[in-house]
Amino acid sequence: MLHFELVTPEKLVRSEDVHMVVVPGTEGDFGVLEGHAPFMSTIRDGELQVHRSAGGAVETIRIEGGFAEVNARGLTVLAEKAE
């Protein structure tokens, strides 16, 4: 499972283990699965797709401004706004 965190300046929105997250990067969307190589990208305003399990329901979260970082611990998305 991929450890996924979504934080805004006001609070920690999500911190959970999921199957996959699709992030709206500045240069195109990218999906992050467990074991992704270290990666960093700024994000554009758009929708974050959270796949809780393979082929399961998809949850979308609207985010604005920020960046995403993938490291050995998982995926961290820092957004200025998330809802």
Partner 1 sequence: MASLKALKLRIGSVKSTQKITKAMKMVAAAKLRRAQEAAEAGRPYAERLEAVVSSLAAKVGGADNAPLLLKGTGKSDVHLFVVATSDKGLAGAFNTNIARLARRRADELIKQGKTVHFYTIGKKGRGVLARLYRDRIVHSVEPGDLGKLKFDDARGYAEDLVARFEAGEFDVAHLFYATFKTVLTQEPTEVQLLPVPVPPAAAADAGGAVVEYEPDEESILADLLPRAIAIQLYRAMRENAASEQGSKMTAMDNATRNAGDLIKRLSIEYNRARQAAITTELVEIISGAEAL
Nearer to partner 1, 53 or 74 (CB): 74
Using CB under 8 A as the binding rule, whether residue 10 contacts partner 1 is answered as yes
Question: What residues from 35 to 74 belong to the interface with partner 1 (CB under 8 A)?
Answer: 37-42, 65-67, 69, 71-72
The only residue of 26, 54, 55, 83 in contact with partner 1, by rule CB under 8 A: 26
3-state secondary structure the chain: CEEEEEECCCCEEEEEEECEEEEEECCEEEEECCCCCCEEEEECCEEEEEECCCCCCEEEEEEEEEEEEEECCEEEEEEEEEC
**To the nearest whole angstrom, how small is the minimum distance from the Cβ of residue 24 to partner 1?**
12
